[in-house]
Structure 1
Amino acid sequence: MNDTSFLRDAIESALDRTANRPVQRRQLLGVLAAMGLVSAGPAVAQTRRLVVCNWGGDALRHQPTAWGIPFERQSGIKVEFDGGGPSFGKIRTMVESRNVVWDVCDANLAAALNLGRRGYLEPIDWSRVDKAKVRPGFYNEWGVSHFLYSFVLTYDRRRYGDNPPKTWADFWNVKDFPGTRTLPDRILGALEGALMADGVAADWAQIYPIDERRALDKIREIKANTVFWKSGAESQQLMRQGEASMGMIWHTRSVVLRRERGSRIDFTWNQGVLIPAGWLVPKGNPAGKVAFDFIAATQSPESQVELLRLMGNGPANPAASALVPADLKPDNPTDDANMAVQILADADWHAENQDRVYNDYIKVITG
């Protein structure tokens, strides 16, 4: 019998059930293609979908508003967001197994260098993406910044009153500023803060290359008074619930906390560690060059100001500065006044040293 109607119906039903789950849909299409039940190229192309992976939370809620829906209207291509987090390991596994389900990943420029040098990323197509629409130096061969964020010193005003912590030296000073601290469970930001706490000037040329032993020894000093957060949501909850009285957390989380009704949480930009986020395109991404059309669309200064309004991300396009309203300037890491008191993270140093130093860091904070 050659009646394949049931089989076709089963395939259509399976595809329908994964319509709103882009990762599972891509995986299903790959399996069906391998079985010869669908054509890998045209079938994927006909879906006209682009999958963007970010880190969930507010990004999963607001990036579709700022970037996804406008691109859909402009291109007719459906943009789907996956909040599963584009970690190094996940991207590497997808590329090595030739089962790539993401088209664009929301990471940072250090990750772009780390993954790109190992062959896991597509080079940025500069015929589609405009270097002139990003701050000088905030791009590399495999990544281009779409916003900036900072690690900032965040504190409980009720706990410290008129004498809040203002520097990382204050953060490390548990005698004059008692209370539980919270630091990231990763080296980016934490090592820079430790060095400034130990007396290194808040100057890029003084911080880099990082003196690893000195920074790790300083982390060890404060370990007993510190909770090491694993996610932005966790850091936010630690501060909101009063489990930590001060923390090094992402400024986007600090902005949300400060905006809450009756909030007791504030933060300072002083000695913040400024980090250019970066769009990355995994090697062999299903949507091909369309990924770079999406990235180009996110360079719109108006859309970047909208993301600043929604979740506090600093615009990467310098043309956006003139569009930022006065009430958003205090929340903007790329405002001239705020940038002047921060240091810019060295993406090259972190790309070269992340894997090795991270292992030492974990031993310190868990040992």
Structure 2
Amino acid sequence: MVVLVMSAAAQEGSLTIASFGGSYSESQKKAFLAPFQQESGIKANMVDYNGGLGELRAQVESGNVAWEVVDMEMQDLVRACDDGLLEPLNDVSLPKAADGTDGAADFIEGTLHDCGVGTVIWSTVIAFNSEMFPGEEPSKMADFFDLKRFPGKRGLMKRPQAILEWALIADGVDAKDVYRVLAKPEGVERALAKLDTIRDHIVWWDAHAQAPQLLADKEVAMTMAANGRIYTAAVAEGKPFTTIWDRQIWIQEFWAIPKGSRNIEAARKYIAFASRPEQMAVQASQISYGPARKSAASMVGDKMRPYLPTEQSNFATAVHNDVEFWADHGDAINERFLVWLSK
């Protein structure tokens, strides 16, 4: 017989929320946890986890669920929902926008899911060191592939995601058709052929922290990077970095509730509170991730708004990372990419 051990948090009617730590969790504590506790009287604390499904699956399958809410990346949310590891959230109460717009309609398309409610949007962008371009500066994603006008090494993460989408768009494929083209072997070959045009100038990296360091050391003139890393280096550390928002590849984070959570109603109240546009704006004012709600963007101060992926001009040509595409085709494309790398 399985004995279900109730967590101390559940016994006390409080919430334990799992997130990714660092400045990201600190922004969540200020924007969501502290004011939620004050308004609701429900105690909420945050613990760090490393993402993925390992810890979540172990808790659900053992019947000892220690988290009431978890922050999840899109690819993990989809898998967890399919595997029955999450509670349904398609009927969660979403606060209306200030102008009366329905809550669900105020979310950016793709940021609501049967098992999750969108919280932030971040993106993979191209950034450059402005000191290495004293004349004309690059301004479009396609400039990454233009070695004649914009010479210098290029930094790329050693994986096909984002790289192949950019290569196809730079080669003339309409952004809306990228994943349809990439689903075919000839589409993958077309993307790799475009990468061949800059292959000898690529510096490969494995961890996101390497991208701004390569730029700072001038080992590369341009690099793909997580937008938050470039913001921190440029704004907080004063590095001469510029972000190219054209064709940013964006992805969203979600709030979710583990299956079997002991305090589901309190968890749902927390998610509804964290879905208020004004609370999302508080978080976005501290960290360069865009709020999932459209009306929240206008509430963010002028100082931070230009650095958000969802700022109107930044988002104009954004490409939504198709997680389900990569789930279906990723293994085959990764295998072909590794063969190409080994040439």
TM-score, shorter chain, exceeding 0.5: yes
The answer to whether structure 1 residue 177 and structure 2 residue 150 are counterparts is yes
| Equivalent position to 1:86, from 29, 34, 51 | 51
> CA distance change for structure 1 residues 284 and 179 in 2, over 3 Å: closer, same or farther?
farther
Residue of structure 1 aligned with 2:270, choices 294, 305, 313: 294
Deviation of 1:159 (Å): 0.9
Q: How far does the alpha carbon of each residue in 1:191-221 deviate from its partner, in whole angstroms, 9 at most, with x for none? A: 32222233323x2234545333433554566
Distance in 1 (alpha carbons) for counterparts of 2:318 and 2:59:
36
Q: Quick one: distance in 1 between partners of 2:239 and 2:143? A: 22
Shift in Å, 1:356: 4.9
Alignment check: 8 A CA contact 1:148 1:313 kept: yes
| Distance 1:237-1:303 versus aligned 2 partners, 3 A rule | farther
What is the distance in 2 between the residues matched to 1:214 and 1:91?
39
Aligned-pair CA distance for 1:314 = 0.9
Cα displacement (A) at 1:56: 3.1
Which ranges in structure 2 are unaligned for 5 or more consecutive residues?
95-102
1:233 matches 2:205: no
In the alignment, is the contact (CA less than 8 A) between 1:53 and 1:81 conserved in 2?
A: yes
The DSSP-based 3-state class of the residue aligned with 1:350 is: helix
1:21 corresponds in structure 2 to none
Q: Deviations over 1:216-254 (max 9, x none)?
A: 554566555444444433433333444433211121222
- SS of equivalent residue, structure 1 residue 310: coil
Tell me the SS of whatever aligns to 2:113.
coil
Question: More displaced, 184-193 or 215-224?
Answer: 215-224
Q: Which has the higher helix share?
A: 1
Tell me the equivalent position of 1:320: 296
Q: Which residue of 2 aligns with 1:205?
A: 177
Identity %: 28
Cα displacement (A) at 1:311: 0.9
- Partner of residue 108 from structure 2, selected from 104, 128, 135: 135
Distance in 2 (alpha carbons) for counterparts of 1:88 and 1:362: 25
The reply to whether residue 349 of structure 1 matches residue 325 of structure 2 is yes
The equivalent residue for 1:249 is: 225
Q: Does 1:111 align with 2:76?
A: yes
Match of 2:22 among 49, 54, 57: 57
Q: Residue 5 of structure 1 corresponds to which residue in structure 2?
A: none
Provide the C-alpha distance between the structure 2 equivalents of 1:99 and 1:127, rounded to a whole number of angstroms: 24
Q: Which amino acid aligns with 1:53?
A: A
Q: 1:274 to 1:43 in 2, by over 3 A?
A: closer
Distance 1:228 1:319, change over 3 A: same
Q: How do 1:89-104 residues align onto structure 2 when only pairs under 5 Å count?
A: 89-104=54-69
Partner residue of 1:276 out of 244, 252, 258: 252
How far residue 322 of structure 1 moved from its aligned partner, in angstroms, is 3.0
SS at match of 1:279: strand
Deviation per residue, 1:340-366 (Å, 9 max, x gap): 122223343234334554455456557
Note if 1:75 corresponds to 2:40: yes
1:327 alignment partner AA: K
TM-score under structure 1 length normalisation: 0.76
Is 1:165 paired with 2:130? Answer: no
What amino acid is the match of 1:182? G
Unpaired runs of 5+ in structure 1? 1-33
Partner of 2:117: helix, strand, or coil?
coil
Answer whether contact 2:70 2:256 (CA < 8 A) is retained.
yes
Q: 1:241 to 1:61 in 2, by over 3 A?
A: farther
Distance 1:139 1:245, change over 3 A: same
Change (3 A) 1:43 1:266: closer
Deviation at 1:55, TM superposition (A): 3.0
Rounded Cα–Cα distance in structure 1 between residues aligned with 2:203 and 2:44: 37
Counterpart among 308, 315, 333 of residue 332 in structure 1: 308
When the two structures are superposed, what TM-score results if normalisation uses the length of structure 2?
Answer: 0.81
Partner residue of 1:145? 118
Which of 1 and 2 has greater Rg?
Answer: 1
Residue identity opposite 2:36 in structure 1:
F
